Chain A
Amino acid sequence: MKILVCIKQVPDMESKFKIDGDGLWYERDELAWRMNEYDEYGVEQAVQLKEQTGGDLTVLSIGPERVKETMKKALAMGCDRGVHISDDLCHLRDSFEIGSMIAEFAKDKGFDMIFTGMQSQDRGSAQVGVIVAELLEMEGITTIVGFDYHQHRITVRRELEGGVKAVVEAPLPAVVTCQLGLNIPRYPTLPNIMKAKKKEMVTVDGDELNRVGSLQQPGAMSVPVKQGGGLYLDGQVEDIAERLLAIIKEKTSVLA
C-alpha cells in the first residue's frame, strides 16, 4: 500500500492580516505558520491506514523553504518521508495549477491512496483534491467524515448539505478530501519528534512539475467593506418578541 498525503502550510488564523505590496495576497513576512487544519485530519487518517496495512506513507507540500517545518510535524505524526516541492510563488497559483503539480509528481509513483484536506484555511477553494483525482484518473470523494479500508476497497462517509450524510464505496486507487472531525489527530510525541529529523526529506523543483500554468490570475485582493453592526431591536418587550419571532421565521430554519 503506497499512501500520499498532501498538506499545506497556512498562517495562524489568529494573525493580523495585511495585504502585501503586490495587492494580490496577504503579507507573509511576520506570520506564524502551521499545518492547514483540514490536512491534520488527512495526515491522521493516512497514518492510521499505514498502521493498518503496514503501508508506506509520503507527505507532500508545495511552498517556500519554511513549509518543511510544517512537514516535520507530519513526519513526527508518522509519515515515512517528505517530498517538498519548492515554489516561492505558490500563493499566486490557482487550484488547477497546484493540482497539476501534485498530479505530475504522483503520476508514476503508483499511489494507492491519496489524502488531502477538504480545503485550505487561507484560500478555501476546496478544488485541489478533486483536480488531482481527475488528472490521475482515480476515484475522487470529497468532504469525508468517516473512513474504512478493507481489501483494497474503501467505505467512506461524506458530509452533504443540510446535515445529510452519504456512504460511498470505491475501489482503490482513490483520492479523498478530509473534513474536520474525521478523526482525532494525534499529538506528535516527543520521541517521534526526535525521530522525525532522521527521516528522508526530498526537495523537488516546482518549476519542473509545473507544465500547465494557471487558468485563473488573481486580479486584486481587498479587505471587505465593513457591514453595519448587528440589528438592534428597541421598544416594548411584547413588540420586540414579535419582531424577533418574525425575523427568526423569515431568516432561519429554526422553527421550520
Chain B
Amino acid sequence: MNFELTEEQNLIRDMVRSFAEAEVAPTADERDENELFDRELMFSRLAELGLTGIVFPEEYGGAGADYISYAIAVEELSRVCASTGVTLSAHLSLGSNPIYLFGSEEQKKTFLTPLAQGETMGAFGLTEPSAGSDAGGTKTYGVRDGDDWIINGSKVFITNGGEADTYVIFARTDKDAQKHHGISAFIVEKGTPGFTFGKKEKKMGIRSSPTLELVFENCRIPGFNLLGEEGQGFKVAMKTLDGGRIGIASQALGIAQGALDATRAYVKEREQFNRPLTAFQGVQFQLADMATQVEAARFMVYNAAYRASSGLAYSQESAMAKLFASETAMKVTTQAVQLHGGYGYTREFPVERMMRDAKITEIYEGTSEIQRVVIGAALAR
C-alpha cells in the first residue's frame, strides 16, 4: 500500500494549481456575482492544458492519465472556483464518459474524440421535474420512426446546459417495461431541430456555471445516436454516476481545501485582544478539525479514484467519498465563515462564496440521502 502520489500526479497538481491561481482565481468573485460563464477561460483553456480528456486513451484524443490525476485537476480548480471545477467534471464524467463506456467505435470517433480534445463540450441530461433521485421515473420518451428516434419531454438542472455541444440524455423507449428497464440513452447534438433550451436557473452557488432546462419537442435524432443498447439506459446512467461521484467528491474536496487555506491565512493576520487569532487554542482546535476532515476526505476520494483506474469495483467507495467529501465541504466552509467573523459573511472574502458553492455538492449527482441508500443497500445485502 502506497499513499504517495507519483511524480506525474505531483506535476499535474503543480500545473493545475499554477493555472488556477494565476488565471481562474482572479475572476472567480466577479463571475459568481454576475452569473457569468467564461467559456474561453473555463473550458477552452482547460482543453489547451490537456484537461478535457484526462482519463481517456490517446487514441480518442485523451491524455491517458489515471482517475487520481483527474480528481487532482477537479480538486485544484475547485479550490479557487467550484464553478470551473464542475464544468470540467460535468463535461468529462457525465458528458464524455458514458460515450467512452458504452459507445460504439464509430460513436467514440465521432463524439468522444472532439469532446476529449475540448473542441466540443459535454453535458448529461437525466433529471426531470418529477424524476430526480427517482431516475426510473423518467417521463421523457423516445419513439422509433424508421431508423430515427423522435424525442419528447424535458430535462432540468442541466450543468453546462446551453453551452455544451454534445448531450447524453435519457428517454423512456418502452412504456410497457418495468420502470428501470424501459429507458434508453441517446446522444443529442446542440442545434438539432426540436432541441431547445429553457430557463437558466438562478442559483445559491456555483453561479458561474450555467444550469439550464433542456426541451425536446418532436426532436428527431438518427438511430446512430442511440447509446448502448435499447432499454439499457438506466445502467448507462448508474455507471456514469459512479464515475461522476468521483468528480463531485473532488470538487467538494477542493472547495473544503480552498476554505481551509483562506482561513489559515486569515487567522494568522487577524488580531483580537492584541493577539493573532492563531494564538487562541480554540481557533487552533477548529483548524485541526477542519484539516483532519479535509485529509480524510482526500484519502477517500483518491482511493475511489485509484479503484476506478485499477479496474476494481468502486461504486461503494465513490458513493462514500462523495457523501463524506460533500458533507466535509459544507462543515469546513461553514466553520471558515465562522472563523472570519463578520467579514466572512461579506463578499469581501472568498469563504462566503465557498460556503454557497459547497451546498450543491450534497445535492447533485445523487443527494447525500441517495448516497446513503447506495451504501446502505449494499451493506444490507
**Using Cβ atoms and an 8 Å threshold, which residues of chain A touch B7?**
68-69, 72, 197
User: A188 contacts which of B15, B54, B58, B69 (Cβ < 8 Å)?
Assistant: B15
Question: Is B8 a contact of A187 with CB atoms below 8 Å?
Answer: no
**Using Cβ atoms and an 8 Å threshold, which residues of chain B touch A73?**
11, 14
Task: Encode B22-53 as 1/0 by CB contact (under 8 A) with A.
Answer: 00000000000000000000000000111100
Q: How far is the CA of A69 from the CA of B5 in the complex (A)?
A: 12
**Using Cβ atoms and an 8 Å threshold, which residues of chain A touch B10?**
69
**Using Cβ atoms and an 8 Å threshold, which residues of chain B touch A245?**
none
**Using Cβ atoms and an 8 Å threshold, which residues of chain B touch A34?**
14
Task: Encode B301-335 as 1/0 by CB contact (under 8 A) with A.
Answer: 00000000000000000000000000000000000
Q: Looking at the assembled complex, report how far the CB atom of A175 sits from the nearest CB atom of chain B, in whole angstroms.
A: 28
Q: Looking at the assembled complex, report how far the CB atom of A135 sits from the nearest CB atom of chain B, in whole angstroms.
A: 32
A204 lies within 8 A of chain B by Cβ: no
Residues of chain A in range 68-98 having any CB-CB distance to chain B below 8 Å: 68-69, 72-73, 76
Q: How far is the CA of A69 from the CA of B8 in the complex (A)?
A: 9
**Using Cβ atoms and an 8 Å threshold, which residues of chain A touch B51?**
190
Interface residues on B, range: 20 to 34
B370 lies within 8 A of chain A by Cβ: no
A189 lies within 8 A of chain B by Cβ: yes
Question: Is B15 a contact of A72 with CB atoms below 8 Å?
Answer: no
Q: How far is the CA of A63 from the CA of B73 in the complex (A)?
A: 29
Main secondary structure of the interface of B (DSSP, over half): helix
Q: Looking at the assembled complex, report how far the CB atom of B191 sits from the nearest CB atom of chain A, in whole angstroms.
A: 29
Q: How far is the CA of A69 from the CA of B6 in the complex (A)?
A: 10
Question: Is B11 a contact of A76 with CB atoms below 8 Å?
Answer: yes
**Using Cβ atoms and an 8 Å threshold, which residues of chain A touch B11?**
69, 72-73, 76, 188, 193, 196
**Using Cβ atoms and an 8 Å threshold, which residues of chain B touch A189?**
15, 48-50
The answer to whether residues A187 and B12 also contact, given A194-B64, A194-B65 and a CB cut-off of 8 A, is no
Number of interface residues of A (CB under 8 A): 16
**Using Cβ atoms and an 8 Å threshold, which residues of chain B touch A69?**
7, 10-11
B19 lies within 8 A of chain A by Cβ: yes
Q: Looking at the assembled complex, report how far the CB atom of A185 sits from the nearest CB atom of chain B, in whole angstroms.
A: 9
A-B contact pairs, 14 of them (CB 8 A): A34-B14, A72-B11, A76-B11, A76-B15, A187-B49, A189-B15, A190-B69, A190-B73, A191-B50, A191-B64, A192-B50, A193-B11, A194-B63, A197-B8
**Using Cβ atoms and an 8 Å threshold, which residues of chain B touch A193?**
8, 11-12, 15, 50, 65
Q: How far is the CA of A100 from the CA of B299 in the complex (A)?
A: 46
B18 lies within 8 A of chain A by Cβ: yes
**Using Cβ atoms and an 8 Å threshold, which residues of chain A touch B19?**
187
